Amino acid sequence: MTWRRLQPAESRLVSTRRELLKSAAMLAAGRTLFAGPGEIHLGCQTNAWPINAQDFANVLAIIRKIKDYGYEGFETGFANVQAQFDHAADARRQIEAIGARFYGVHIFLLQYDPATHVAPPELYERVAQGGAKLGAERLILSGTPPPDDAGRKRKADALNRAGDFAAKLGMTLAYHTHGPETEHNYAELEFLLKETDPAKVGILFDAGHAFEVGSEVPSFIRRHHARLAGLHLRDYKSGDQVPLGQGGFPLQAVVDVLRQTGWSGWVLNEEERLTYKPGDSAVKPARDALFRAFGRKI
């Protein structure tokens, strides 16, 4: 066989063909190319509203409300959809009929595996399998802070294993942060970023929680935007959570950093409260502030 050097035009064609084949392979493996460079999707968590998880019509009504507010997609806790896992095909059709993308199914617990400080495999595997059938694009895990680096390493290893499992289902794994992971100059989160595989584990960075505990938000996003699977935004004033845009959260600075870095992904508004469900009274003004900041039509 005789070899020759490719001419520049031929090289470009080969490179383009390789990129197309790579994209096709990723899609075949169940990995969706969600966003182009700088493309930002706006979504909302369902936990601003009271939900009867035993009444799927009520869950669908909240998803429809989110869509009507102009959000592209939604995130919800696993308790709201697990009753549909055994007949997921019909439930998925009903979700897709609304036209809102299912950003991710979230496992938040009051108690976690004491060894790994995240949900145990028997739970997250069941939720991932059920969530994938419903069309969820991500498995989202929350956790608690381990007391030392040995515990943090076990937590990171557990997240890598969960990421492996999610990938086999065509999902991606996102670890959702709370205040403790971002304290002390992001000590735990920096550790997890170093010890987890970027191909397996993304970070759903709750920028509102970080702001609440006094951590600097825009600079963290600038440093680690490539690892972010999404952002949760919320706002606080005098220690109390208020609708986004009504407190001190640096919303415009965050938007500016996202634009400057060319980051693409999901930004989700989360208007939960510890003692009550504010619903539309918080989501509507928060939506207005978020859409204005991103220059979207309200």
* pLDDT tens for each residue of 2-55: 334 444 444 443 344 444 443 343 333 333 333 456 799 999 999 999 999 999
pLDDT digits (tens, 9 = 90+) for 216-244: 999 999 999 999 999 999 999 999 999 99
CATH 3.20.20.150 fits domain 34-293:
yes
Alpha helix ranges (H) inside 141-265: 149-168, 179-195, 207-212, 217-224, 251-261
> What does the domain layout of the chain look like in residue ranges?
34-293
| pLDDT higher than threshold 60 for residue 64 | yes
Mean pLDDT score, 147-156: 98
Mean pLDDT score, 162-184: 98
* pLDDT of amino acid 30: 36
Q: What's the CA angle centered on 211, arms 206 and 217, to 5 degrees?
A: 75
* pLDDT of amino acid 37: 61
* pLDDT of amino acid 31: 36
| pLDDT higher than threshold 50 for residue 252 | yes
pLDDT digits (tens, 9 = 90+) for 101-148: 999 999 999 999 999 999 999 999 999 999 999 999 999 999 999 999
pTM score: 0.88
Report CA 7 to chain centroid distance, whole Å: 43
Mean pLDDT score, 273-292: 97
Mean pLDDT score, 177-193: 97
Mean pLDDT score, 76-86: 98
Q: What are phi and psi of 247, to 5 degrees?
A: -125, -150
* pLDDT of amino acid 38: 77
Alpha helix ranges (H) inside the chain: 8-28, 56-68, 88-98, 121-134, 149-168, 179-195, 207-212, 217-224, 251-261, 280-293
